[in-house]
Structure 1
Amino acid sequence: MLKFHPPGFGQKFTQTSLGTIAYYTQAQGITETPIVFLHSFGGGSSAYEWSKVYPFFESTIAPDLIGWGDSSHPARDYRPEDYVMMVAEFLEKISDQPVTLVAASLTGALAIRLATQRPELVRSLFLVCPSGFDDFGQNAGRRIPLDIINTPILDRIIYTIGATNDLAVRNFLENFLFANRDRITPEIVNAYLESARKSNAEYAALSFLRGDLYFDLSLYLPQLNTPTAIVWGNQALFTDVNLGRRIAAANPQAIRRFEVVPESGVLAHLEQPAIVARLLKQWINSETD
Protein backbone atom coordinates (compact mmCIF):
# COMPACT_ATOMS: atom_id res chain seq x y z
CA MET A 1 0.00 0.00 0.00
CA LEU A 2 3.04 2.29 0.23
CA LYS A 3 2.62 3.39 -3.40
CA PHE A 4 -0.65 5.11 -2.48
CA HIS A 5 1.00 7.32 0.14
CA PRO A 6 2.72 10.66 -0.57
CA PRO A 7 6.42 11.09 -1.33
CA GLY A 8 8.63 11.42 1.74
CA PHE A 9 6.70 8.80 3.71
CA GLY A 10 7.95 5.30 4.38
CA GLN A 11 6.42 2.10 5.69
CA LYS A 12 7.40 0.53 9.01
CA PHE A 13 6.13 -2.42 11.02
CA THR A 14 5.55 -3.25 14.67
CA GLN A 15 4.07 -6.20 16.54
CA THR A 16 0.89 -6.41 18.61
CA SER A 17 -0.74 -9.39 20.27
CA LEU A 18 -3.07 -9.73 17.25
CA GLY A 19 -0.35 -9.51 14.62
CA THR A 20 1.87 -7.14 12.69
CA ILE A 21 0.80 -3.54 12.11
CA ALA A 22 2.10 -1.70 9.06
CA TYR A 23 2.26 2.06 9.44
CA TYR A 24 3.33 5.09 7.43
CA THR A 25 5.42 7.98 8.70
CA GLN A 26 7.92 10.60 7.56
CA ALA A 27 11.20 9.13 6.40
CA GLN A 28 13.17 11.49 8.67
CA GLY A 29 11.41 10.16 11.75
CA ILE A 30 9.29 11.64 14.55
CA THR A 31 10.54 14.92 16.03
CA GLU A 32 7.45 16.25 17.87
CA THR A 33 4.37 14.96 19.69
CA PRO A 34 3.02 12.28 17.34
CA ILE A 35 -0.26 12.71 15.53
CA VAL A 36 -1.71 9.25 14.94
CA PHE A 37 -4.36 8.79 12.22
CA LEU A 38 -6.78 5.84 12.42
CA HIS A 39 -8.78 4.90 9.34
CA SER A 40 -12.45 3.93 9.41
CA PHE A 41 -13.86 0.45 8.66
CA GLY A 42 -15.45 -0.82 5.46
CA GLY A 43 -14.42 -2.95 2.50
CA GLY A 44 -10.99 -1.78 1.35
CA SER A 45 -10.31 0.66 4.18
CA SER A 46 -6.69 1.44 5.04
CA ALA A 47 -4.41 4.25 6.17
CA TYR A 48 -4.69 5.63 2.63
CA GLU A 49 -7.92 7.24 3.82
CA TRP A 50 -5.88 9.93 5.65
CA SER A 51 -3.14 10.32 3.04
CA LYS A 52 -4.47 13.66 1.76
CA VAL A 53 -4.44 15.18 5.27
CA TYR A 54 -1.40 13.92 7.19
CA PRO A 55 1.25 15.37 4.81
CA PHE A 56 0.25 18.81 6.16
CA PHE A 57 1.70 17.87 9.57
CA GLU A 58 5.01 16.85 11.06
CA SER A 59 5.51 13.70 13.14
CA THR A 60 2.53 11.85 11.72
CA ILE A 61 1.85 8.13 11.97
CA ALA A 62 -0.90 6.38 10.02
CA PRO A 63 -1.33 2.63 10.63
CA ASP A 64 -3.22 0.02 8.68
CA LEU A 65 -5.17 -1.55 11.53
CA ILE A 66 -5.15 -5.31 11.98
CA GLY A 67 -7.38 -6.88 9.33
CA TRP A 68 -6.83 -4.05 6.83
CA GLY A 69 -4.24 -2.81 4.33
CA ASP A 70 -0.76 -4.25 4.69
CA SER A 71 -1.17 -5.30 8.32
CA SER A 72 -1.84 -8.88 9.45
CA HIS A 73 -5.23 -10.36 8.56
CA PRO A 74 -5.89 -13.09 11.14
CA ALA A 75 -8.89 -15.28 10.33
CA ARG A 76 -11.10 -14.42 13.28
CA ASP A 77 -14.28 -12.69 14.34
CA TYR A 78 -13.41 -9.20 15.55
CA ARG A 79 -14.89 -7.34 18.52
CA PRO A 80 -14.55 -3.71 19.64
CA GLU A 81 -12.31 -4.80 22.52
CA ASP A 82 -9.82 -6.24 20.02
CA TYR A 83 -9.27 -2.87 18.40
CA VAL A 84 -9.14 -0.90 21.67
CA MET A 85 -6.45 -3.29 22.92
CA MET A 86 -4.62 -3.27 19.58
CA VAL A 87 -4.47 0.53 19.31
CA ALA A 88 -3.30 0.80 22.93
CA GLU A 89 -0.48 -1.66 22.24
CA PHE A 90 0.42 0.21 19.07
CA LEU A 91 0.60 3.58 20.83
CA GLU A 92 2.81 2.10 23.53
CA LYS A 93 5.16 0.79 20.85
CA ILE A 94 5.49 3.95 18.75
CA SER A 95 5.49 6.73 21.36
CA ASP A 96 6.76 7.37 24.88
CA GLN A 97 4.37 10.32 25.29
CA PRO A 98 0.62 10.91 24.87
CA VAL A 99 -0.40 11.40 21.24
CA THR A 100 -2.95 13.44 19.36
CA LEU A 101 -5.29 10.74 18.12
CA VAL A 102 -7.21 11.38 14.90
CA ALA A 103 -9.89 8.90 13.85
CA ALA A 104 -13.07 8.53 11.83
CA SER A 105 -16.47 6.87 12.06
CA LEU A 106 -16.29 3.65 14.10
CA THR A 107 -12.61 4.11 14.95
CA GLY A 108 -13.54 7.56 16.25
CA ALA A 109 -15.86 5.87 18.72
CA LEU A 110 -13.17 3.32 19.57
CA ALA A 111 -10.74 6.20 20.15
CA ILE A 112 -13.14 7.62 22.74
CA ARG A 113 -13.30 4.23 24.46
CA LEU A 114 -9.52 4.06 24.49
CA ALA A 115 -9.23 7.58 25.92
CA THR A 116 -11.60 6.69 28.76
CA GLN A 117 -9.74 3.45 29.56
CA ARG A 118 -6.15 4.56 28.94
CA PRO A 119 -6.14 8.37 29.26
CA GLU A 120 -2.37 8.44 29.74
CA LEU A 121 -1.94 7.43 26.08
CA VAL A 122 -4.03 10.19 24.50
CA ARG A 123 -3.31 13.90 24.71
CA SER A 124 -6.30 15.00 22.63
CA LEU A 125 -8.83 13.64 20.13
CA PHE A 126 -9.82 14.93 16.70
CA LEU A 127 -12.66 12.85 15.31
CA VAL A 128 -14.59 12.77 12.05
CA CYS A 129 -18.18 11.47 12.37
CA PRO A 130 -17.46 9.25 15.41
CA SER A 131 -20.14 6.61 15.93
CA GLY A 132 -20.48 3.19 17.49
CA PHE A 133 -23.39 2.55 15.06
CA ASP A 134 -25.62 1.62 18.02
CA ASP A 135 -25.58 4.99 19.75
CA PHE A 136 -28.22 6.00 22.27
CA GLY A 137 -29.77 2.58 21.66
CA GLN A 138 -30.57 3.37 18.03
CA ASN A 139 -29.04 1.10 15.40
CA ALA A 140 -27.62 2.98 12.43
CA GLY A 141 -28.95 0.34 10.03
CA ARG A 142 -27.33 -2.47 8.10
CA ARG A 143 -27.13 -2.49 4.33
CA ILE A 144 -27.35 -6.31 4.20
CA PRO A 145 -29.86 -8.39 6.26
CA LEU A 146 -28.29 -10.38 9.09
CA ASP A 147 -29.69 -13.73 7.92
CA ILE A 148 -27.80 -13.25 4.65
CA ILE A 149 -24.52 -11.83 5.95
CA ASN A 150 -24.39 -14.59 8.63
CA THR A 151 -24.72 -17.41 6.09
CA PRO A 152 -21.39 -19.23 5.62
CA ILE A 153 -19.94 -19.13 2.10
CA LEU A 154 -22.66 -16.68 1.04
CA ASP A 155 -21.07 -13.99 3.20
CA ARG A 156 -17.74 -14.50 1.39
CA ILE A 157 -19.48 -14.35 -1.98
CA ILE A 158 -21.15 -11.08 -1.00
CA TYR A 159 -17.79 -9.65 0.04
CA THR A 160 -16.11 -10.74 -3.19
CA ILE A 161 -18.86 -9.28 -5.35
CA GLY A 162 -19.29 -6.12 -3.32
CA ALA A 163 -15.71 -5.12 -2.48
CA THR A 164 -13.18 -6.63 -4.87
CA ASN A 165 -14.03 -5.21 -8.27
CA ASP A 166 -13.77 -1.72 -9.68
CA LEU A 167 -17.48 -1.16 -10.33
CA ALA A 168 -18.57 -2.29 -6.86
CA VAL A 169 -15.96 -0.16 -5.08
CA ARG A 170 -16.89 2.93 -7.07
CA ASN A 171 -20.57 2.29 -6.38
CA PHE A 172 -19.87 1.92 -2.65
CA LEU A 173 -17.91 5.18 -2.55
CA GLU A 174 -20.49 7.07 -4.61
CA ASN A 175 -23.60 5.90 -2.79
CA PHE A 176 -22.46 5.58 0.81
CA LEU A 177 -19.25 7.49 1.55
CA PHE A 178 -18.97 10.57 -0.68
CA ALA A 179 -21.39 13.46 -1.09
CA ASN A 180 -19.97 14.36 -4.51
CA ARG A 181 -19.05 11.50 -6.84
CA ASP A 182 -16.86 13.80 -8.94
CA ARG A 183 -14.31 13.79 -6.12
CA ILE A 184 -13.72 10.05 -6.47
CA THR A 185 -10.48 9.55 -8.38
CA PRO A 186 -9.06 6.37 -9.96
CA GLU A 187 -6.38 6.43 -7.27
CA ILE A 188 -9.00 6.26 -4.51
CA VAL A 189 -10.75 3.34 -6.19
CA ASN A 190 -7.47 1.49 -6.74
CA ALA A 191 -6.32 2.00 -3.14
CA TYR A 192 -9.59 0.55 -1.83
CA LEU A 193 -9.36 -2.34 -4.28
CA GLU A 194 -5.81 -3.27 -3.31
CA SER A 195 -6.70 -3.35 0.38
CA ALA A 196 -9.94 -5.28 -0.20
CA ARG A 197 -8.13 -7.96 -2.23
CA LYS A 198 -5.63 -8.85 0.51
CA SER A 199 -5.77 -12.44 1.70
CA ASN A 200 -8.31 -12.82 4.56
CA ALA A 201 -9.43 -9.19 4.18
CA GLU A 202 -13.03 -10.34 4.38
CA TYR A 203 -12.81 -11.26 8.08
CA ALA A 204 -12.56 -7.73 9.47
CA ALA A 205 -14.93 -6.34 6.84
CA LEU A 206 -17.59 -8.96 7.55
CA SER A 207 -17.28 -8.37 11.31
CA PHE A 208 -18.16 -4.77 10.57
CA LEU A 209 -21.00 -5.61 8.20
CA ARG A 210 -22.55 -8.09 10.64
CA GLY A 211 -22.51 -5.48 13.38
CA ASP A 212 -20.07 -7.41 15.58
CA LEU A 213 -18.09 -4.19 16.05
CA TYR A 214 -21.09 -1.98 16.87
CA PHE A 215 -21.60 -0.57 20.36
CA ASP A 216 -23.38 2.30 22.09
CA LEU A 217 -20.93 5.20 22.20
CA SER A 218 -23.21 7.18 24.51
CA LEU A 219 -22.29 4.85 27.39
CA TYR A 220 -18.68 6.07 27.25
CA LEU A 221 -19.21 9.79 26.67
CA PRO A 222 -19.77 10.73 30.35
CA GLN A 223 -16.39 9.17 31.24
CA LEU A 224 -14.45 11.18 28.64
CA ASN A 225 -12.03 13.76 30.04
CA THR A 226 -9.67 14.05 27.07
CA PRO A 227 -9.98 17.34 25.13
CA THR A 228 -11.90 16.47 21.98
CA ALA A 229 -12.87 18.12 18.69
CA ILE A 230 -15.48 16.61 16.36
CA VAL A 231 -16.11 17.42 12.71
CA TRP A 232 -19.05 16.04 10.75
CA GLY A 233 -19.83 15.82 7.06
CA ASN A 234 -23.23 17.44 6.60
CA GLN A 235 -24.31 14.70 4.18
CA ALA A 236 -23.02 11.67 6.11
CA LEU A 237 -25.35 8.70 5.65
CA PHE A 238 -26.52 6.35 8.45
CA THR A 239 -24.89 8.61 11.07
CA ASP A 240 -26.21 12.04 10.21
CA VAL A 241 -25.19 15.41 11.61
CA ASN A 242 -27.99 15.40 14.21
CA LEU A 243 -26.35 12.37 15.81
CA GLY A 244 -23.11 14.33 15.87
CA ARG A 245 -24.74 17.24 17.67
CA ARG A 246 -26.27 14.85 20.20
CA ILE A 247 -22.88 13.23 20.86
CA ALA A 248 -21.20 16.62 21.31
CA ALA A 249 -23.94 17.80 23.67
CA ALA A 250 -23.53 14.72 25.87
CA ASN A 251 -20.19 15.99 27.26
CA PRO A 252 -19.45 19.63 26.39
CA GLN A 253 -16.69 19.80 29.01
CA ALA A 254 -14.56 17.33 27.04
CA ILE A 255 -15.99 17.85 23.54
CA ARG A 256 -14.92 21.45 23.09
CA ARG A 257 -15.47 21.90 19.37
CA PHE A 258 -18.05 20.69 16.89
CA GLU A 259 -17.71 21.71 13.23
CA VAL A 260 -19.82 20.78 10.21
CA VAL A 261 -18.03 20.28 6.89
CA PRO A 262 -20.33 21.30 4.01
CA GLU A 263 -20.93 19.14 0.95
CA SER A 264 -19.23 16.13 2.52
CA GLY A 265 -20.12 12.60 3.47
CA VAL A 266 -18.68 10.47 6.26
CA LEU A 267 -15.16 10.61 4.78
CA ALA A 268 -14.82 14.38 4.85
CA HIS A 269 -11.05 13.96 5.29
CA LEU A 270 -10.77 12.12 1.96
CA GLU A 271 -13.44 14.11 0.17
CA GLN A 272 -12.45 17.60 1.36
CA PRO A 273 -8.98 17.12 2.89
CA ALA A 274 -7.93 20.78 2.83
CA ILE A 275 -10.88 21.77 5.04
CA VAL A 276 -10.27 18.95 7.51
CA ALA A 277 -6.51 19.65 7.60
CA ARG A 278 -7.22 23.31 8.41
CA LEU A 279 -9.60 22.36 11.22
CA LEU A 280 -7.09 19.87 12.61
CA LYS A 281 -4.31 22.47 12.52
CA GLN A 282 -6.55 24.94 14.36
CA TRP A 283 -7.36 22.31 16.97
CA ILE A 284 -3.72 21.37 17.56
CA ASN A 285 -2.72 25.03 17.82
CA SER A 286 -5.49 25.71 20.33
CA GLU A 287 -4.34 22.82 22.48
CA THR A 288 -0.72 24.01 22.55
CA ASP A 289 -1.42 27.70 23.26
Structure 2
Amino acid sequence: METGLVAIPMGFARRFLQTSIGQMVYFTQDTDRPETLVFLHGFGGGSSSFEWSLVYPYFTAGYRVVAPDLIGWGESYHLERDYQPDDYLRSLREFLEQQAGVVTVVASSVVAAWVVRLAAEFPQLIQRLVLMCPTGLSDFGEPYKNPFFQVVAAVPGVNWLFYQQGVANRGTIRYFLEERLFARKERVTNEMVEAYYASASQPQAEFSAFSFLKGDLCFDLALWLPRLQTPTAIFWGERAQFAGPKLGQRLAQLSEQVRVFTVIPDTGTTPQLERPALVCAQLTQALPKLL
Protein backbone atom coordinates (compact mmCIF):
# COMPACT_ATOMS: atom_id res chain seq x y z
CA MET A 1 0.00 0.00 0.00
CA GLU A 2 1.43 3.39 -1.03
CA THR A 3 1.61 5.76 1.95
CA GLY A 4 3.88 8.54 0.68
CA LEU A 5 3.15 11.84 -1.03
CA VAL A 6 3.55 10.50 -4.55
CA ALA A 7 3.80 7.14 -6.27
CA ILE A 8 7.31 5.70 -6.22
CA PRO A 9 8.74 4.74 -9.62
CA MET A 10 8.77 1.01 -10.27
CA GLY A 11 11.81 -0.71 -8.79
CA PHE A 12 12.44 2.01 -6.21
CA ALA A 13 11.91 1.99 -2.46
CA ARG A 14 11.62 4.68 0.19
CA ARG A 15 14.58 4.85 2.58
CA PHE A 16 15.56 7.07 5.51
CA LEU A 17 18.79 8.71 6.64
CA GLN A 18 19.23 10.64 9.87
CA THR A 19 21.21 13.88 9.61
CA SER A 20 22.21 16.18 12.45
CA ILE A 21 19.23 18.44 11.75
CA GLY A 22 16.59 15.86 10.90
CA GLN A 23 15.62 12.81 8.91
CA MET A 24 15.92 12.78 5.14
CA VAL A 25 13.71 10.57 3.00
CA TYR A 26 15.18 9.30 -0.24
CA PHE A 27 14.25 6.93 -3.03
CA THR A 28 16.58 4.29 -4.42
CA GLN A 29 16.66 0.83 -5.96
CA ASP A 30 18.09 -2.04 -3.91
CA THR A 31 21.14 -2.89 -5.97
CA ASP A 32 24.91 -2.68 -5.86
CA ARG A 33 26.66 -0.56 -8.46
CA PRO A 34 30.18 0.90 -8.49
CA GLU A 35 28.83 4.38 -9.15
CA THR A 36 25.99 6.33 -7.56
CA LEU A 37 23.94 9.03 -9.26
CA VAL A 38 22.37 11.42 -6.75
CA PHE A 39 19.55 13.59 -8.11
CA LEU A 40 18.86 16.78 -6.11
CA HIS A 41 15.75 18.89 -6.63
CA GLY A 42 15.65 22.68 -6.50
CA PHE A 43 13.88 25.06 -4.12
CA GLY A 44 10.39 26.50 -4.54
CA GLY A 45 6.87 25.99 -3.27
CA GLY A 46 6.16 22.26 -3.47
CA SER A 47 9.62 21.17 -4.58
CA SER A 48 10.64 17.57 -3.94
CA SER A 49 12.44 14.63 -5.51
CA PHE A 50 9.45 14.30 -7.84
CA GLU A 51 11.18 16.96 -9.94
CA TRP A 52 13.61 14.31 -11.26
CA SER A 53 11.23 11.32 -11.19
CA LEU A 54 10.77 11.25 -14.98
CA VAL A 55 14.55 11.09 -15.48
CA TYR A 56 16.27 9.09 -12.75
CA PRO A 57 14.60 5.69 -13.43
CA TYR A 58 16.27 5.73 -16.86
CA PHE A 59 19.72 5.29 -15.29
CA THR A 60 19.14 2.26 -13.08
CA ALA A 61 20.79 -0.19 -15.47
CA GLY A 62 24.23 1.33 -15.02
CA TYR A 63 24.10 3.16 -11.69
CA ARG A 64 22.81 3.04 -8.17
CA VAL A 65 20.31 5.91 -8.30
CA VAL A 66 19.40 8.01 -5.25
CA ALA A 67 16.84 10.83 -5.15
CA PRO A 68 16.32 12.52 -1.76
CA ASP A 69 13.84 15.06 -0.51
CA LEU A 70 15.95 17.81 1.05
CA ILE A 71 15.33 18.93 4.61
CA GLY A 72 12.21 21.12 4.65
CA TRP A 73 10.80 19.69 1.41
CA GLY A 74 8.78 16.68 0.34
CA GLU A 75 8.67 13.90 2.93
CA SER A 76 11.82 14.89 4.80
CA TYR A 77 11.90 16.58 8.19
CA HIS A 78 10.63 20.18 8.34
CA LEU A 79 12.30 22.60 10.73
CA GLU A 80 10.03 25.09 12.49
CA ARG A 81 12.32 28.09 12.00
CA ASP A 82 14.04 30.16 9.37
CA TYR A 83 16.47 28.06 7.38
CA GLN A 84 20.10 29.05 7.07
CA PRO A 85 22.67 28.15 4.39
CA ASP A 86 24.51 25.89 6.82
CA ASP A 87 21.39 23.75 7.21
CA TYR A 88 21.75 22.61 3.62
CA LEU A 89 25.52 22.53 3.45
CA ARG A 90 25.61 20.32 6.54
CA SER A 91 22.71 17.99 5.73
CA LEU A 92 23.80 17.56 2.10
CA ARG A 93 27.38 16.82 3.16
CA GLU A 94 26.20 14.25 5.70
CA PHE A 95 23.94 12.64 3.11
CA LEU A 96 26.67 12.43 0.48
CA GLU A 97 29.16 11.02 2.97
CA GLN A 98 26.85 8.02 3.36
CA GLN A 99 26.80 7.21 -0.36
CA ALA A 100 29.01 4.35 -1.50
CA GLY A 101 31.45 4.24 -4.39
CA VAL A 102 31.95 6.96 -6.98
CA VAL A 103 29.35 9.70 -6.55
CA THR A 104 28.00 11.88 -9.34
CA VAL A 105 25.54 14.60 -8.35
CA VAL A 106 22.85 15.88 -10.71
CA ALA A 107 21.26 19.01 -9.22
CA SER A 108 19.05 21.89 -10.27
CA SER A 109 18.73 25.66 -9.77
CA VAL A 110 19.78 27.11 -6.40
CA VAL A 111 20.54 23.66 -4.98
CA ALA A 112 22.91 23.10 -7.91
CA ALA A 113 24.69 26.29 -6.87
CA TRP A 114 24.95 25.05 -3.28
CA VAL A 115 26.43 21.79 -4.54
CA VAL A 116 29.14 23.74 -6.37
CA ARG A 117 30.05 25.38 -3.08
CA LEU A 118 30.00 22.03 -1.29
CA ALA A 119 32.19 20.43 -3.95
CA ALA A 120 34.65 23.32 -3.75
CA GLU A 121 34.94 22.94 0.03
CA PHE A 122 34.91 19.12 0.10
CA PRO A 123 36.21 17.92 -3.29
CA GLN A 124 36.48 14.31 -2.08
CA LEU A 125 32.68 14.03 -1.78
CA ILE A 126 31.73 14.32 -5.46
CA GLN A 127 33.54 12.94 -8.50
CA ARG A 128 31.34 14.52 -11.20
CA LEU A 129 28.73 17.26 -11.33
CA VAL A 130 25.81 17.85 -13.68
CA LEU A 131 24.04 21.14 -13.00
CA MET A 132 20.66 22.20 -14.36
CA CYS A 133 20.27 26.01 -14.51
CA PRO A 134 22.59 26.59 -11.54
CA THR A 135 22.25 30.02 -9.97
CA GLY A 136 22.71 31.47 -6.53
CA LEU A 137 20.23 34.20 -7.55
CA SER A 138 22.77 36.78 -6.36
CA ASP A 139 25.39 36.07 -9.00
CA PHE A 140 28.03 38.61 -10.00
CA GLY A 141 27.24 40.82 -7.04
CA GLU A 142 23.57 41.38 -7.87
CA PRO A 143 21.76 40.66 -4.59
CA TYR A 144 18.36 39.02 -4.52
CA LYS A 145 15.89 40.98 -2.41
CA ASN A 146 12.18 40.50 -1.90
CA PRO A 147 10.91 42.90 0.79
CA PHE A 148 7.33 41.69 0.38
CA PHE A 149 8.12 38.15 1.50
CA GLN A 150 10.40 39.45 4.25
CA VAL A 151 7.48 41.41 5.71
CA VAL A 152 4.86 38.67 5.25
CA ALA A 153 7.07 35.96 6.72
CA ALA A 154 7.75 38.04 9.85
CA VAL A 155 4.10 38.32 10.94
CA PRO A 156 2.83 35.25 12.86
CA GLY A 157 -0.49 34.01 11.55
CA VAL A 158 -0.37 36.19 8.47
CA ASN A 159 2.57 34.19 7.10
CA TRP A 160 0.72 30.89 7.49
CA LEU A 161 -2.49 32.28 5.94
CA PHE A 162 -0.63 33.80 3.00
CA TYR A 163 1.24 30.55 2.42
CA GLN A 164 -1.96 28.51 2.41
CA GLN A 165 -3.80 30.90 0.09
CA GLY A 166 -0.94 32.17 -2.05
CA VAL A 167 1.43 29.22 -2.36
CA ALA A 168 0.01 25.88 -1.23
CA ASN A 169 -3.03 25.61 -3.46
CA ARG A 170 -3.50 23.85 -6.75
CA GLY A 171 -4.46 26.94 -8.74
CA THR A 172 -1.33 28.85 -7.76
CA ILE A 173 0.87 25.82 -8.33
CA ARG A 174 -0.55 25.20 -11.80
CA TYR A 175 -0.10 28.86 -12.70
CA PHE A 176 3.50 28.85 -11.47
CA LEU A 177 4.36 25.70 -13.41
CA GLU A 178 2.67 26.88 -16.59
CA GLU A 179 3.82 30.50 -16.59
CA ARG A 180 7.17 30.48 -14.79
CA LEU A 181 8.80 27.03 -14.90
CA PHE A 182 7.69 25.62 -18.27
CA ALA A 183 8.18 26.98 -21.76
CA ARG A 184 4.89 25.42 -22.92
CA LYS A 185 1.98 25.29 -20.50
CA GLU A 186 0.33 22.32 -22.22
CA ARG A 187 3.15 20.10 -20.91
CA VAL A 188 2.03 20.60 -17.31
CA THR A 189 0.07 17.53 -16.18
CA ASN A 190 -2.36 16.98 -13.33
CA GLU A 191 0.14 14.55 -11.81
CA MET A 192 2.73 17.34 -11.61
CA VAL A 193 0.29 19.73 -9.97
CA GLU A 194 -0.73 17.09 -7.42
CA ALA A 195 2.88 16.22 -6.59
CA TYR A 196 3.80 19.85 -5.97
CA TYR A 197 0.61 20.40 -3.98
CA ALA A 198 1.26 17.35 -1.78
CA SER A 199 4.74 18.59 -0.95
CA ALA A 200 3.66 22.19 -0.38
CA SER A 201 0.89 21.04 1.96
CA GLN A 202 3.15 19.31 4.46
CA PRO A 203 3.09 20.67 8.05
CA GLN A 204 5.65 23.47 8.53
CA ALA A 205 6.41 23.56 4.78
CA GLU A 206 6.03 27.35 4.88
CA PHE A 207 9.30 27.76 6.81
CA SER A 208 11.54 26.45 4.05
CA ALA A 209 9.49 28.15 1.34
CA PHE A 210 9.65 31.57 3.01
CA SER A 211 13.36 31.20 3.79
CA PHE A 212 13.95 30.73 0.07
CA LEU A 213 11.52 33.42 -1.09
CA LYS A 214 12.99 35.99 1.31
CA GLY A 215 16.44 35.37 -0.18
CA ASP A 216 18.02 33.83 2.93
CA LEU A 217 19.36 30.93 0.85
CA CYS A 218 20.71 32.97 -2.06
CA PHE A 219 24.39 33.73 -2.65
CA ASP A 220 26.89 34.66 -5.35
CA LEU A 221 27.80 31.51 -7.27
CA ALA A 222 30.38 33.44 -9.29
CA LEU A 223 32.61 33.57 -6.21
CA TRP A 224 32.74 29.78 -5.93
CA LEU A 225 33.03 28.47 -9.48
CA PRO A 226 36.73 29.44 -9.82
CA ARG A 227 37.45 27.19 -6.81
CA LEU A 228 35.74 24.16 -8.33
CA GLN A 229 37.94 21.08 -8.80
CA THR A 230 35.21 18.70 -9.99
CA PRO A 231 34.55 17.88 -13.69
CA THR A 232 31.23 19.53 -14.47
CA ALA A 233 28.50 19.73 -17.10
CA ILE A 234 25.95 22.54 -17.16
CA PHE A 235 22.54 22.30 -18.81
CA TRP A 236 20.27 25.31 -19.25
CA GLY A 237 16.67 25.65 -20.36
CA GLU A 238 16.53 27.79 -23.49
CA ARG A 239 13.60 29.82 -22.13
CA ALA A 240 14.40 29.74 -18.41
CA GLN A 241 12.88 32.85 -16.85
CA PHE A 242 14.64 33.47 -13.55
CA ALA A 243 18.11 33.22 -15.06
CA GLY A 244 18.69 32.66 -18.77
CA PRO A 245 21.37 30.86 -20.79
CA LYS A 246 23.45 34.04 -21.14
CA LEU A 247 24.00 34.06 -17.39
CA GLY A 248 24.80 30.35 -17.59
CA GLN A 249 27.46 30.91 -20.25
CA ARG A 250 28.97 33.70 -18.19
CA LEU A 251 29.11 31.44 -15.12
CA ALA A 252 30.54 28.52 -17.10
CA GLN A 253 33.47 30.65 -18.24
CA LEU A 254 34.61 31.04 -14.63
CA SER A 255 35.80 27.44 -14.30
CA GLU A 256 38.01 25.24 -16.45
CA GLN A 257 36.20 22.29 -14.90
CA VAL A 258 33.05 23.05 -16.90
CA ARG A 259 33.57 20.67 -19.82
CA VAL A 260 30.01 20.67 -21.20
CA PHE A 261 27.57 23.53 -21.60
CA THR A 262 24.31 22.58 -23.29
CA VAL A 263 21.15 24.60 -23.88
CA ILE A 264 18.05 22.38 -23.77
CA PRO A 265 15.81 23.73 -26.56
CA ASP A 266 12.20 24.78 -26.03
CA THR A 267 12.27 24.38 -22.25
CA GLY A 268 12.03 26.62 -19.22
CA THR A 269 13.64 26.29 -15.80
CA THR A 270 12.80 22.58 -15.31
CA PRO A 271 13.63 20.71 -18.52
CA GLN A 272 13.75 17.48 -16.48
CA LEU A 273 9.98 17.67 -16.09
CA GLU A 274 9.15 19.39 -19.35
CA ARG A 275 11.22 17.28 -21.78
CA PRO A 276 12.57 14.35 -19.73
CA ALA A 277 13.53 12.15 -22.69
CA LEU A 278 15.73 14.90 -24.10
CA VAL A 279 17.35 15.48 -20.70
CA CYS A 280 18.05 11.74 -20.38
CA ALA A 281 19.75 11.78 -23.78
CA GLN A 282 21.85 14.84 -22.95
CA LEU A 283 22.83 13.44 -19.58
CA THR A 284 23.84 10.13 -21.14
CA GLN A 285 26.09 11.97 -23.58
CA ALA A 286 27.60 14.26 -20.95
CA LEU A 287 28.59 11.77 -18.27
CA PRO A 288 31.44 10.08 -20.20
CA LYS A 289 32.94 13.50 -20.95
CA LEU A 290 33.42 14.10 -17.23
CA LEU A 291 35.67 11.08 -16.60
TM range (shorter): over 0.9
Q: Name the structure 1 match of 2:37.
A: 35
**Quick check: 183-192 or 75-84, which moved more?**
75-84
Q: Name the structure 2 match of 1:265.
A: 268
One-letter amino acid matched to 1:174: E
Q: Name the structure 1 match of 2:258.
A: 255
TM superposition shift of 1:280 = 1.1
Q: Name the structure 2 match of 1:73.
A: 78
- Residue of structure 2 aligned with 1:154, choices 141, 158, 170: 158
TM superposition shift of 1:123 = 0.4
**Quick check: 231-240 or 39-48, which moved more?**
231-240
TM superposition shift of 1:144 = 4.4
One-letter amino acid matched to 2:75: D
TM superposition shift of 1:286 = 2.5
* Distance across 1 between alignment mates of 2:226 and 2:290: 21
* Distance across 2 between alignment mates of 1:138 and 1:268: 25
The equivalences for 1:189-268 within 5 A come to: 189-251=193-255, 253-268=256-271
Residues 261 and 268, structure 1, Cα contact 8 Å, conserved in 2? yes
User: TM-score normalised to the size of structure 2?
Assistant: 0.93
* Distance across 2 between alignment mates of 1:126 and 1:263: 20
TM superposition shift of 1:167 = 0.8
CA gap of 1:30–1:45, structure 2 versus 1, over 3 A, is farther
1:164 aligns with 2:163: no
Residues 234 and 261, structure 1, Cα contact 8 Å, conserved in 2? yes
Q: CA RMSD in A?
A: 1.6
Q: Name the structure 2 match of 1:6.
A: 9
Q: Name the structure 2 match of 1:47.
A: 49
* Distance across 2 between alignment mates of 1:77 and 1:260: 34
* Distance across 2 between alignment mates of 1:94 and 1:271: 29
TM superposition shift of 1:189 = 0.4
Residues 149 and 210, structure 2, Cα contact 8 Å, conserved in 1? no
CA gap of 1:237–1:286, structure 2 versus 1, over 3 A, is same
Secondary structure (helix, strand or coil) at the match of 1:265 reads coil
Q: Name the structure 2 match of 1:123.
A: 127
Q: Name the structure 2 match of 1:276.
A: 279
User: TM-score normalised to the size of structure 1?
Assistant: 0.94
Residues 149 and 209, structure 1, Cα contact 8 Å, conserved in 2? no
CA gap of 1:274–1:140, structure 2 versus 1, over 3 A, is farther
Q: Name the structure 2 match of 1:90.
A: 95
Number of residues paired by the alignment? 285
TM superposition shift of 1:241 = 1.3
Q: Percent identical across equivalent pairs?
A: 45
* Distance across 1 between alignment mates of 2:224 and 2:126: 15
